[in-house]
Amino acid sequence: MLTEIDILENEIRKQYPEVLEILLRDHTTQKNIFWATNNYEHFGKGYRFDDQILPELITEKNGSIIMPRVQKNKLLQQTRSKDMAEVFTPSWICNAQNNLIDNAWFGRENVFNTELEKSNDFKWSVNNERITFPENKTWKDYVRDTRLEMACGEAPYITSRYDTTTGEFIPIEKRIGILDRKLRIINENVENSGEWLEWAQTAFKNTYAFEFHGDSLFIAREAMLVTFIENYKEKFGKEPLLKSIQYIAYIISWNVWQMDGLKGVIPNSCGIVTTTTTNLFGETETKETPCEGCQKETIHKHNGTYCLIKDWPNKDLESEKKGRKIRFVDLINRNK
Ligand SMILES: C[S@@+](CC[C@H](N)C(=O)[O-])C[C@H]1O[C@@H](n2cnc3c(N)ncnc32)[C@H](O)[C@@H]1O
């Protein structure tokens, strides 16, 4: 199952109890993430735009209801591109852009790989040497460095299990995502499985992403979880314990969240607010107030449900601090 690019939800449900339930959770609404697309409504009840994604809905048809974009039919791909700007980035571009961030962080080039250009087939050659760090930084700083993929789709900048544009499977040692790189650094610096798990949790806690569509969001979450399992297996020759898998799924369910990124709220949660008041003469008056944020395109003035994310304490640096919930919108400068 894990070497396939389409991870089958019925297999996850069978193999890892409660993990599907955790992966579908939305911590802002305290419900599950929802479809936020009409593409599934032909399956009937429970598959409409506003319906929550429930485990039993996605384990139908042998778990093939939700599939990566590259496996969707061409017509559906075109419609989604037109309606919601759904065009995914090839792995070589994700690699080149992630390299730019790392060039700045390390103060040198070609840290994880060297980009190659071979007759239009852009690839990269992996640097197999153990990664070294600049004088004032350690491998732990790299794992703790917080990164975010905005409007992540299937999150190709975070984990590159497969090229989202061709469907080609990419083995662990060749991966180029933000999380793939953090896990490589941990693999190179930690041997003990308990310590490895703690640092892997830190890597996940420092990797964030958001997306509008529930299906892509779920695929992103699933790909990150499978990346964890694959790396643990590669390192220790066995599966992690179920409770470790469940905890990573829990971190992912916080850090990879459903949001309309233009508004900072749960998709489609803004609307007209109706208030009824009684005046001095006992007459009732009804007032309808539209969403000011939507009308004026001001991100801080929406009346929808602003998304919550978790600010985790940083391993070894803030052990006293408890994780706290914050509104994503509050990270955005009010003057903008
Ligand atoms: C151009 S794709 C990029 C996806 C991914 N980052 C990549 O590079 O392959 C844009 C993504 O933005 C999502 N999207 C469109 N409008 C959005 C919005 N208002 N808020 C959040 N995501 C949105 C789409 O569903 C789609 O997955």
Q: Is 215 in the pocket of ligand 1 (CB under 6 A)?
A: no
Provide the 8-state DSSP code for 71.
G
Q: Is 212 in the pocket of ligand 1 (CB under 6 A)?
A: yes
Dihedral of CA 330/332/333/336: which sign?
negative
Q: How confident is the model at residue 61 (pLDDT cuts 50, 70, 90)?
A: confident
Where do the DSSP E strands lie in the chain? 25-26, 31-32, 113-118, 121-126, 147-149, 207-211, 256-258, 273-278, 284-289, 308-311, 324-327
Q: Is 261 in the pocket of ligand 1 (CB under 6 A)?
A: yes
| 137 and 88 in a common domain | yes
**Quick one: what percent of the chain has pLDDT higher than 70?**
96
137 versus 72: the higher-pLDDT residue is 137
Residue nearest (by alpha carbon) to ligand 1 atom 10: 86
Q: How many CB atoms lie within 10 A of CB 192?
A: 8
Query: Could you read off the pLDDT of 240-266 as tens digits, one per residue?
Result: 999 999 999 999 999 999 999 999 999
Q: Do 38 and 49 touch, CB atoms closer than 8 A? A: yes
| 312 and 201 in a common domain | yes
| 174 and 120 in a common domain | yes
| 274 and 165 in a common domain | no
| 74 and 209 in a common domain | yes
- The tokens for 14 are 């069978």
Query: Could you read off the pLDDT of 167-213 as tens digits, one per residue?
Result: 889 999 999 999 999 999 999 999 999 999 999 999 999 999 999 99
Residue nearest (by alpha carbon) to ligand 1 atom 27: 153
d(CA 38, CA 24): 18
Lowest mean pLDDT among 32-46, 116-130, 275-289: 116-130
The alpha carbon of 152 and the centre of ligand 1 are apart by a number of angstroms equal to: 6
Query: Could you read off the pLDDT of 112-122 as tens digits, one per residue?
Result: 999 997 665 66
| 220 and 102 in a common domain | yes
| 78 and 57 in a common domain | yes
| 48 and 82 in a common domain | yes
Q: Is 89 in the pocket of ligand 1 (CB under 6 A)?
A: yes
Whole-angstrom CA distances from 90 to 129, 173, 239 are: 26, 18, 30
How many independent structural domains does the chain possess? 2
| 288 and 164 in a common domain | no
Q: Please state, rounded to an integer, the average pLDDT across all residues of the chain.
A: 93
Residue nearest (by alpha carbon) to ligand 1 atom 1: 87
The alpha carbon of 85 and the centre of ligand 1 are apart by a number of angstroms equal to: 6
The alpha carbon of 157 and the centre of ligand 1 are apart by a number of angstroms equal to: 12
| 328 and 294 in a common domain | no
The alpha carbon of 151 and the centre of ligand 1 are apart by a number of angstroms equal to: 4
Where do the DSSP E strands lie in 75-172? 113-118, 121-126, 147-149
| 199 and 278 in a common domain | no
Closest ligand 1 atom to residue 262 Cα is 19
Q: Count Cα atoms within 13 angstroms, Cβ side, for 249.
A: 23
pLDDT for residue 121:
66
Q: What is the mean pLDDT of residues 71-89?
A: 83
| 151 and 292 in a common domain | no
Q: Is 177 in the pocket of ligand 1 (CB under 6 A)?
A: no
Q: Domain span at residue 288?
A: 270-303
Within 8 A by CB and 6+ apart from 250, the residues are 22
The alpha carbon of 216 and the centre of ligand 1 are apart by a number of angstroms equal to: 9
